Amino acid sequence: MTVRVGVIGTGMIGQDHIRRLTDVVTGAAVTAVTDLDAARAAEVAARVGATALPTGADLINSPEVDAVLVTSWGPTHAEHVLNAIAAGKPVFCEKPLATTAEDCLRVVEAEQSHGRRLVQVGFMRRFDAGYRQMKEVVASGSLGAPLIVHCAHRNPTVPDAYHSAMAAQDTAVHEIDVLRWLLDDEIVSAQVITPRATSKRFAHLKDPQIMLFETAGGVRIDLEVFVNCQYGYDIQCEAVGEEGLVRLPDPAAVAVRTAGRHSTAVLQDWKARFAEAFDTEFREWVGAVAAGAEPTGPSAWDGYAATVITDAAVRSLQTDGTVVTVGMKPRPAFYGGTA
């Protein structure tokens, strides 16, 4: 069976995922698209042989669409996801699930009322081969109990529109999701402190930021978010346990020796760094939808948890680094697991 996917939002990541569903993943076809920019939607539709529809609601209710991909702007996600649940269609929503905890809870409640999982949230790091290997090592117990996780999330530069709260909402949110999953533990507090700011930033931005998280099990996480580091896109993660440590590998790159130097290139953006993770993410999602199974990737609950934890980090940033307790609701049995 070919899964007929309708895509809401044909901007940067929407077009990349459309290419992925069309050229990389087998078993899927993009049959409908929509965008506030109708000309852009029509151009993308023509390229892949899809129908351009006027609105997200038209697309969700189209008989040509089996499953929905939401890649529009964050504040519009909740409405589209709720409409997809109402139509009983599987929906993959790029992060964030919603921009407020209240809207995330609305999705969680609607999905539970529907009675089975329909929603997957686009936290792609869980599909990265390196993080998956780290999880296997941590889960095997060979390191003993995890105690500390050291992380860095560096972007070369960010545009003027990127503001200080986005360090948590847009950037650290990836570590927040992947570390809950890696440790199978919940984050219970957040603190954000700011060292001297780099001169290579727009004046309104606090960059870099150091984020400190604590889990229910007592693990301490330190995360450097530095989004104007200049030199490249660099993701580091090292989990320290009682009997050893495990470190995220750098992406494979040839070593070059020339002119008296031995060097390897550093990637420049997230698209290249996580290209294979995105491919795997969509292969597994399409496979689950085709089989009529529930999605196994990050759930609506994970989307809610990420939003509540980033809210706590933003509150800490805005209150000069106070430690903020994460006000998360109890996890419903519907979502299984512990984190």
CB-based contact 120:127 (threshold 8 Å): no
Taking CB under 6 A as the criterion, which residues in 231-270 touch ligand NAD? 270
Binding status of residue 103 toward ligand NAD by CB under 6 A: no
DSSP letters for 158-219: --TT--TTHIIIIIIHHHHHHHHHHHT--EEEEEEE--SPPSSS-TT---SEEEEEEETT--
Among 3, 4, 7, 14, binds ligand NAD (CB under 6 A): 14
Answer whether 298's CB lies under 8 Å from 121's CB.
yes
Does 170 bind ligand INS (CB under 6 A)? Our answer is yes
- Which residue of this chain has its Cβ atom nearest to ligand NAD in the complex? 11
Which entry of ligand NAD, ligand INS, none binds 171, CB below 5 to 8 A by partner kind? ligand INS
* DSSP secondary structure string for all residues of 301-328: HHHHHHHHHHHHHHHHHHTTT--EE--P
Q: Which is nearer to ligand INS, 155 or 215 (CB)?
A: 155
Q: Does 169 bind ligand INS (CB under 6 A)?
A: no
What b-and-e string marks burial along 116-126, b requiring 16 or more CB atoms within 10 Å of the CB? ebbbbbbbbbb
Q: How far is the CB of 174 from ligand INS (least distance, A)?
A: 6
Report if residue 174 touches ligand INS, rule: CB under 6 A.
yes
For ligand INS, which stretch binds (CB under 6 A), given 66-74, 78-86, 168-176, 302-310?
168-176
DSSP state of 21: I
Q: Where are the beta strands (DSSP E) in 97-169?
A: 119-121, 146-154
CB 313 within 8 A of CB 193: no
220-259: contacts with ligand INS (CB under 6 A): 227
Nearest-approach distance from CB 171 to ligand INS, in angstroms: 3
From the CB of 225, what's the least distance to ligand INS, in Å?
A: 8
Taking the least distance from each CB to ligand NAD, the nearer of 55 and 263 is 55
Binding site for ligand NAD (CB under 6 A): 8-14, 34-37, 40, 56, 71-74, 76, 94-95, 122, 124, 270
